[in-house]
Structure 1
Amino acid sequence: MLLGFTKRELGKSNNTSRLRRMSPRRSYDQYCSAARALDVVGDRWTLLIVRELLAGPRRYTDLHADLPGVSTDVLASRLKDMERDGLTTRRRLPPPGAAFVYELTVQGRELLPVLQALGEWGQPELGERRPTDAVRAHWFALPLLRALEGEGLVEVHLEEGDFHLFVGVQEGPVYGDGPAPREPDARLAMDTGTCTAVARGELGLPDAVRAGRIAVTGDGTVAKALREA
């Protein structure tokens, strides 16, 4: 174990990775807040790691599984950089887990509206899914979160899997994989095509509910708002 990582996590080029992690952060050296922000989050994969950690504490292996295409070297390096820059913390779970998990700091969590704005800006770029495109059910969480109003726990059922959203929360996870941890305020069932249309901005949630493309159950304010819209 080196700096909390196993040899498997570090990969074959761990000497090079270790030097990169210990090196000072690169900077654009421009007196501009946008440039300063990009000094911290502008590296490839950093914002997508934030996207995954918005679901709460994650193990390294879980992050690697849900970031297809990232190498073990790069993921280990980014996690160390993000910890250095105050975006994440790393802690060991108590027994019997005894594994390290990574989670966002308050500063890291403040990137949620940045990711939401970036996702909204990128809607026209989404287009049709390419044969090489990976997909995870929970990647639809942030687009749906933008489309939902009110407060409550929402469970979403897709062909790719289930996930849940914490709508209107100020602290804690924004979403999570799998069924809701308790009785949700609303359950939404839809096919992937409908969810994709919502993610692209082509279809509003109330319109999809009225058209029968989304089945809504539950007695919470979110469910009632969708049925009455």
Structure 2
Amino acid sequence: MAKTAEVFAQRWTPLLVRELCFGPLRFTELHSGVPSMSRALLVQRLAELEEAGVIATEPMGQGKLYRLTSAGESLRDIIVLMSSWGQRYGQGRLGPADMDPTMLVWSMKRQIDPCQLPDRDIVLRLEFRGLPKAHAARRYWWIILRPNDVEVCFKAPDCEVDVVIAADLEALIRVWMGYAGLAEASQASAVSLHGDPMLVRAVKRILGLADEPHHRTLTFKAHAAVAA
């Protein structure tokens, strides 16, 4: 246990392993998953994990691709257990540091099951209220749900929006995490969905926005691409 803690129990390290559970990533992609971590510390932690045999690198264009080794893959069960514990016992600990729209949208994208994707493109716009001052510039986001891909944009794409989710940031975080139900949040005008009813239902299903609170189980694996 002590030897595991020496490698795994440093600040940010479990989150880096979590990111790499979704598949090999470039440095910028890793940093997007842990945006509050400084780039200098990210470089340091990656070097430590590589030295410990948890990750390996391979050349990728002008940079590197980071991936889990077999030792790193063995930590996946710990990540799943930590996630389950936090889902069950940590919901009352949401604080200002958790009010990050980037983390929410990034998490939404990673948890979308390719088997749930629509048979046509659906463009979703997210409009957040109640953002901390540090994140005020990230009020608007777009998610393009394609039959074989999911794209996240923080600049308006050149296509028509099908569904709009307008929400208090904290309220949508709680609904997406399963801590609160969409029905109650909608009744309180904290979260609202607008658009064609059929497409709204599809977005709710794809994002896993349930009408009632529930224990959401998160997955930590790379999804295979879906054939068009």
Query: TM-score when scaled to structure 2?
Result: 0.51
Aligned residues: 180
Residues 1:28 and 2:2 aligned together: yes
Residues 1:75 and 2:50 aligned together: no
Gaps of 5+ in 1: 1-26, 30-35, 167-172, 180-185
Residues 40-55 of structure 1: matches in 2 within 5 Å? 40-53=7-20
2:167 to 186, 190, 193: 190
Q: Secondary structure at the match of 1:78?
A: helix
**Aligned CA-pair RMSD:** 5.1
Report the counterpart of residue 220 of structure 2 in structure 1: none
Q: Secondary structure at the match of 2:56?
A: strand
Report the counterpart of residue 119 of structure 1 in structure 2: 86
Report the counterpart of residue 185 of structure 2 in structure 1: 208
Aligned-pair CA distance for 1:122: 2.4
> Could you give the per-residue CA deviations for residues 152-206 of structure 1, whole angstroms, max 9, x where no partner exists?
249672433537699xxxxxx9x97537xxxxxx875533132243367652235
Q: Which amino acid aligns with 2:167?
A: M
Aligned-pair CA distance for 1:99: 1.7
Larger Rg computed on CA atoms: 1
**Percent pairwise identity:** 21
1:223 to 204, 208, 219: 204
Higher relative CO (CA 8 A, sep ≥ 6), structure 1 or 2? 2
Report the counterpart of residue 153 of structure 2 in structure 1: 178
Q: Which amino acid aligns with 1:208?
A: A
Aligned-pair CA distance for 1:70: 3.6
C-alpha separation between the residues in 2 aligned to 1:77 and 1:138? 23
Gaps of 5+ in 2: 129-137, 155-162, 213-228
Report the counterpart of residue 139 of structure 1 in structure 2: 103
Query: TM-score when scaled to structure 1?
Result: 0.51
C-alpha separation between the residues in 2 aligned to 1:208 and 1:46? 34
C-alpha separation between the residues in 1 aligned to 2:164 and 2:105? 14
Relative to 1, partners in 2 of residues 1:157 and 1:99: Cα closer, same or farther, differing over 3 Å? same
C-alpha separation between the residues in 1 aligned to 2:152 and 2:175? 19
C-alpha separation between the residues in 2 aligned to 1:111 and 1:197? 24
Relative to 1, partners in 2 of residues 1:163 and 1:54: Cα closer, same or farther, differing over 3 Å? farther
Relative to 1, partners in 2 of residues 1:64 and 1:209: Cα closer, same or farther, differing over 3 Å? closer
